Homo-oligomer: A and B are copies of this chain.
Amino acid sequence: MRLLQDIGEFGLIRRIAKAEKISDKDVVVGIGDDTAVLKYKKNLYLLLTTDMLIEGVHFNKKATPFQIGWKALAVNISDIAAMGGIPKYGLVSLGLKKNTSLKFVDELYRGIKTIARKFDVKILGGDTVSSSKLVINISLTGEVEKKYLTLRKGAKIGDKIYVTGRLGGSISGKHLSFIPRVKEARYLVKNLHPTAMIDISDGLLSDLKRICEASNVGARIEQSKIPVSREAVSLQNALTGGEDFELLFTVSKKYNNLIKSAKFSITQIGEITKRGIILLDERNKNIHLKETGFDHFKL
């Protein structure tokens, strides 16, 4: 009998996406990007995304309820940012133990609302159920001007590859309090017109692979250029650690000289190639990597 752990999270997503061929005149993007994209208003697309956080998987007992609430909305806002969009309306589903203290629930909502206010997101409802473990699912809408929509697909051979911020070590705390890169993404789509963009949720290499697969291209990354965060315990950690929630994007040569005008950290780490993902060490030698990122179902 084949189990989920045999095909992994990405095998499962491929399996679902394959079976689900959408033909609908209002659907611009279905399964397979950071959010779904729907026709909406004259110059706007509607974005839809959802993320589930589970106790013991996405946070442990040490996380405060405020942090859990913050993170649950932040990961969704990050998905909207990765499309070049602006987050708008959220629905919160909460699975809570019956003996949860009201203080815990209030703090959890305070976390949600604090980041909601920061990004002008309105919480419009949701669902509350009893559960033996804390589960929180937020779904979020967003909108993006048609001209600014940026997908995973669209990277071209010769495009430079960039990341915002520094990578790795998120698990030591950043993953519970990170600021989604909406402001940065908006700057990028307005000024640098990225050909492809994604938020780094499962690790640099894993998410780069998604851009490459969607765009039908390859990539060459120079290890020495990767901006490793102070919290990262190793370079490997910066490559595959996951939950950085920085932006990974590709820019056409003609806009590369504008990168320096950005008022936030952007680092070029490589270039889009015809095929294959290659990581080069300081002597320009190939580095082979066994695992590329976090997979929920692999053991």
Contact = CB atoms under 8 A, between A and B. Distances in A.
A58 B57 CA distance: 22
Interface stretch (A92-100, A168-176, A231-239, A244-252): A92-100
A48 B90 CA distance: 9
Contacts of A4: 96-102, 105
Interface in A93-148: 93-103, 105-106, 109, 113, 122-133, 135, 137, 139, 141
The quantity of this chain's copies bound in the complex is: 2
Contact of A128 (B12, B40, B113, B128): B12
A51 B297 contact: no
B32 A125 contact: yes
A35 B91 CA distance: 10
Contact of A135 (B3, B7, B95, B97): B95
Interface centre among A31, A101, A126 (most CB of B within 10 A): A126
Interface stretch (A22-30, A154-162, A255-263, A269-277): A22-30
A187 interface: no
Given A1-B101, A7-B102, A99-B4, A91 B139 contact: yes
A128 B13 contact: yes
Contact of A3 (B6, B50, B51, B98): B98
A38 B5 contact: no
Nearest to A38: B89
Interface in A17-63: 19-20, 22, 24, 27, 30-33, 35-36, 38, 40-41, 46, 48-54, 56-58
Contacts of A93: 50-52, 137, 139
A36 B124 CA distance: 6
A16 interface: yes
Contacts of A123: 20, 22, 30-31
A113 B296 CA distance: 23
A218 B52 CA distance: 39
A288 interface: no
A297 B125 contact: no
B58 A12 contact: no
19 contacts: A1-B103, A4-B102, A5-B99, A6-B102, A15-B105, A19-B109, A30-B123, A38-B89, A48-B89, A48-B91, A48-B124, A49-B125, A50-B91, A52-B127, A52-B129, A54-B135, A128-B297, A131-B133, A135-B135
